[in-house]
């Protein structure tokens, strides 16, 4: 090999080596930056999701059954002063949770939903003040209940919307993270072609795989957290796909229908509908997925569901939709309205009995007045007769 050729070869090898080293350094720097960006984005999202989920959970806990609604109803029925601090604490917790949620970067839709919830809290607070005045005045529970009824359906829909937004945001962040991880993986594969630095690339790959596993663990942790958020919801909730398959069911749904959560996740939503109505529901379900949006059904017609033992129970159903993993899913919130119906019937019966007692008392008073007038008239007649004699 001539010296001229050797120098040319050495320069070529040197240039190639420098190019490979430079490329490897650039690849390593880019890879580190991408990983740092993914980690930063995920940490930011995790912090936000924790605050948002915690705030939403506090709103549900402070306002739902076991919170304000439970204590407020007990106060109307029992009129016990010791319930007042609990109710005020529920309202304070709800306002604090709403403020925490509003402090985050949220969409216009979420802001409107939170405003709806805040309006409901204001209505609750106003009705609570009125209730305290009526209790002090000595009004009966029936009289108080008639004056302090609140339509909380818009706020409940807003809470469901916030939960749906949280799930949708989780899905978007998951896709964004997966895309970033995919791009980073391509970069590692390209760097792996640098044969002289296979070992270094291998070490980098091991570290990256470890990071990917940690990221997946974080994703699974977040998914479990969201599942737990669904599971602690005060109302029975089911998530289904467009084929009617139940994907997720919380513990309240299992209690309502009498199946375990695993059993529900192997069923179709039509299995929970009375037998004579199932053939119609398939067409309804297709229409719901074709025209997704928040829906509330009991406003149009009474609904019923069928439990494991064949019992039919009256229900109130709200339906919302979210897209997860490129698939549209429906979230159904099911409320057993049996107690509400029984309560309404009890109130109606009490009112009828009260009206009957008032009518009877009116009749008794009228009869007593007639007897008194007759007695008075008879006495005057006797006196006149005596004087004539």
CATH code (residue 254): 3.30.450.20
Mean pLDDT confidence for 120-125: 84
> What confidence score (pLDDT) does residue 387 get?
46
**Do both 1 and 113 map to the same domain?**
yes
Q: Give mean pLDDT, residues 364-372.
A: 78
Cα dihedral sign for 76, 82, 84, 90? negative
- Between residues 130 and 353, which one has the greater pLDDT? 130
Mean pLDDT check: name the lowest of 77-86, 361-370, 379-388.
379-388
pLDDT at residue 174 above 90? no
Q: Determine, yes or no, domain membership for 346.
A: no
* Residue 358 domain flag: no
366 in any annotated domain:
no
User: Is 387 inside any structural domain?
Assistant: no
How confident is residue 379, by pLDDT bands cut at 50, 70 and 90? low
pLDDT digits (tens, 9 = 90+) for 272-283: 988 888 888 888
Tell me, what's the pLDDT at 203? 67
Contact 76, 141 (CB under 8 A): yes
Mean pLDDT of the chain: 76
CA angle 283, 284, 289 (to 5 degrees): 100
Check whether residue 69 and residue 193 sit in a common domain: yes
In terms of domains, do 104 and 124 share one? Answer: yes
In a domain, 247, yes or no: yes
Domain boundary pick from 183, 204, 234 = 234
> Do 106 and 198 fall into the same domain?
yes
Task: Please give the structure tokens belonging to residue 99.
Answer: 């403020």
Instruction: Tell me, yes or no, whether 156 and 66 share the same domain.
Output: yes
- Gap between the Cα atoms of 158 and 141, Å rounded: 29
pTM of the complete model beyond 0.85: no
- Is residue 205's pLDDT more than 70? no
pLDDT value for 355? 75
The range of the structural domain enclosing residue 153 comes to: 1-234
Q: Report the distance separating Cα 59 and Cα 91, nearest Å.
A: 9
Domain boundary (234, 252, 285) is at 234
Shared domain for 218 and 283, answered yes or no, is no
Please tell me whether residues 87 and 193 are part of one structural domain.
yes
pLDDT for 266 equals 92
Query: Token pair for residue 195?
Result: 């044969």
Q: Is residue 380 part of a domain?
A: no
- Nearest one of 172, 135, 329 to 248, comparing CA atoms: 329
Q: Would you place residue 386 in the very low, low, confident or very high pLDDT band (cuts 50, 70, 90)?
A: very low
Considering the domain architecture, whether residues 37 and 175 belong to the same structural domain is answered as: yes
Higher pLDDT, 362 or 213: 362
Position 264 confidence tier, pLDDT thresholds 50, 70, 90? very high
pLDDT for residue 311 is more than 60: yes
205 and 243 housed in the same domain: no
Find the mean pLDDT for residues 30-52. Answer: 69
* Whether residue 18 sits in one domain with residue 106: yes
Quick one: 52 and 152 in the same domain? yes
Do 38 and 67 sit in the same domain of this protein?
Answer: yes
Among residues 234, 254, 278, the one where a domain terminates is: 234
Please give the average per-residue pLDDT across 285-289, as a whole number. 85
Q: How confident is the model at residue 31 (pLDDT cuts 50, 70, 90)?
A: low
Task: Give the total number of structural domains in the chain.
Answer: 2
CA distances from 113 to 21, 77, 172, 292, 311 (A): 55, 31, 20, 18, 36
| pLDDT confidence of residue 44 | 65
Q: What is the CATH number of the domain that holds 20?
A: 1.20.120.1730
CA-based angle 165:170:176, to the nearest 5? Answer: 125
361 found inside a domain = no
């Amino acid at each position: 090999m001539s010296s001229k050729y050797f120098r040319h070869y050495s320069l070529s090898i040197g240039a190639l080596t420098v190019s490979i080293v430079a490329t490897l350094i650039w690849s390593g720097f880019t890879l580190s930056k991408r990983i740092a960006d993914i980690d930063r984005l995920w940490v930011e999202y995790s912090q936000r999701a924790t605050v948002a989920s915690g705030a939403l959970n506090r709103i549900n806990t402070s306002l739902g059954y076991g919170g304000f609604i439970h204590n407020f109803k007990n106060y109307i029925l029992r009129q016990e002063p010791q319930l007042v601090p609990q109710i005020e604490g529920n309202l304070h917790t709800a306002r604090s949770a709403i403020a925490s949620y509003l402090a985050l970067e949220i969409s216009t839709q979420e802001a409107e939903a939170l405003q709806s919830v805040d309006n409901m809290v204001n209505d609750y607070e106003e009705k609570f003040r009125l209730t305290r005045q009526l209790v002090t005045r000595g009004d009966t529970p029936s009289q108080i209940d008639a004056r302090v009824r609140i339509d909380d359906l818009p706020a409940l829909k807003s809470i469901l919307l916030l939960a749906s937004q949280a799930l949708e945001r989780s899905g978007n962040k998951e896709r964004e993270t997966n895309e970033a991880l995919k791009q980073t993986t391509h970069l590692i594969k390209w760097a792996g072609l640098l044969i002289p630095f296979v070992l270094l690339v291998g070490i980098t790959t091991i570290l990256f795989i470890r990071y990917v596993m940690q990221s997946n663990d974080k994703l699974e942790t977040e998914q479990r957290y969201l599942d737990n958020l669904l599971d602690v919801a005060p109302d029975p909730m089911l998530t289904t796909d467009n084929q009617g398959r139940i994907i997720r069911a919380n513990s309240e749904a299992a209690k309502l229908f009498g199946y375990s959560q695993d059993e529900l996740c192997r069923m179709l939503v039509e299995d929970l509908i009375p037998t004579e109505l199932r053939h119609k529901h398939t067409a309804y379900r297709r229409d719901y997925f074709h025209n997704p949006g928040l829906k509330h059904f009991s406003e149009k017609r009474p609904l019923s569901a069928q439990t494991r033992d064949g019992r039919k129970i009256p229900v109130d159903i709200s339906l919302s939709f979210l897209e997860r993993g490129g698939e549209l899913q429906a979230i159904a919130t099911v409320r057993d309205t049996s107690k509400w119906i029984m309560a309404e019937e009890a109130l109606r019966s009490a009112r009828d009995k009260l009206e009957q007692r008032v009518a009877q008392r009116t009749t008794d008073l009228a009869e007593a007045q007639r007897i008194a007038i007759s007695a008075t008239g008879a006495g005057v007649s006797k006196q006149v007769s005596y004087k004539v004699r």
